[in-house]
Amino acid sequence: MPEVFRATPLDAAPRLAAALGLGALWVKREDLAGTAFGGNKLRQISLILAEARKAGADTVITTAASQSNFCRALSGAAARAGLACHLLLRRAGGTAMQGNLLLDHVFGAAIHWTDVTDPWDPAIDAELDAIAQAVRREGGRPYLVRLPGRTAALAASAWAHGAAELAADLAAVDARPDAVVVACGSALTACGLALGLPRAGVTASVLGVSVQQPVTRLGPWCDDVIARTAMLLGWTDASHRLVLTDDQIAPGYGRASEASRPAVLLAGRTEGLVLDPVYTGKALAGLAAAVGGLIPRAGSAVLIHSGGAPGLFLHADDMELR
């Protein structure tokens, strides 16, 4: 199977660092992860596709909202791996042929729409099963991907290994950051990083900037994911330095915020980076807010650029460009 994921660079961002009052800032460029506009999900997807192959599948099926970065990356990676892809999409995020949905079509995914609005509604499982049965009737061999669901520990383990790559990047430039900052949806990326970094010799805190869930819900979930991931990896020590914040969620999931809009423009104008206002823009806003707190002034940090740039184009009207 062709590799769908490629190791990503760690770039210094000196102008952005200075603008934030930091001594140094590095950006881990997951947006360059190799296939289909990259993103933090590609490390997980390469493991998931390997599992699907091992199970003898020729088709992957998943579900999310219409503008999901995960679905776009999965459909692109499936195309590269020679697998068919079916997406069951919720209309939240809109049905306009833009951004990630446009890319899903470009990658040849079969799109199915659902009227169910709650991703955890059991009706979604029934609809996924119906798609799988239809694939079987046509002679296909489907593999169901539920993220986070039962794939959670596998997905987080991809980032526990990603932590070792980041540790090697940091060692190569002799960097000892105070914090590694990442946007959190399901928090599988943050959990994997938090578990993997100390084991790779990096003492930085991981700051998970929630874009969706309050910390009261995300915290216990992360404890559980980290424990399950450690078990999957056979690591007996699951200690970590994960710090979560939900200060950047407002006005809500999938929406630009007062702080994320200027953050997108700052990253673009200082470093030519393309962030989006609902994930990476909020991560950068969370990083900026942590300077003088978790991250000392003139200290140093890593921003995980978790991809999601296709989403920027859906927020043109929000960006208040001048």
Q: Which residues bind ligand PLP (CB under 6 A)?
A: 39-40, 69-70, 183-190, 279-280, 306-308
280 C-beta neighbours (distance < 10 Å), count: 35
What is the distance between the alpha carbons of residues 203 and 193, in angstroms, rounded to a whole number?
A: 11
For residue 236, which amino acid is it? Answer: T
In angstroms, give the least distance from the CB of 296 to ligand PLP. Answer: 25
Nearer to ligand PLP, 39 or 93 (CB): 39
In angstroms, give the least distance from the CB of 36 to ligand PLP. Answer: 12
Nearer to ligand PLP, 52 or 181 (CB): 181
Nearer to ligand PLP, 175 or 188 (CB): 188
Q: Residues 6 or more apart from 206 whose CB is under 8 A from it? A: 179, 180, 181, 182, 190, 193, 194, 197, 240, 241, 242, 243
In angstroms, give the least distance from the CB of 302 to ligand PLP. Answer: 15
In angstroms, give the least distance from the CB of 37 to ligand PLP. Answer: 10
Nearer to ligand PLP, 201 or 252 (CB): 252
In angstroms, give the least distance from the CB of 251 to ligand PLP. Answer: 18
Nearer to ligand PLP, 27 or 190 (CB): 190
In angstroms, give the least distance from the CB of 189 to ligand PLP. Answer: 3
Q: Bridge-partner residues for 64, per DSSP?
A: 89
Q: Residues 6 or more apart from 163 whose CB is under 8 A from it? A: 192, 193, 195, 196, 197, 199, 200, 202
The b/e string for 91-129 (b: 16+ C-beta within 10 A; e otherwise) is: eebeeeebbbbebbeebebbbbebebeeeeeeebeebbe
Nearer to ligand PLP, 132 or 226 (CB): 226
Nearest residue to ligand PLP, scored by beta-carbon proximity: 308
Give me the phi and psi of 188, to 5 degrees please. Answer: -65, -35
Element at 42 (helix H, strand E): helix 41-54
SS3 182: strand
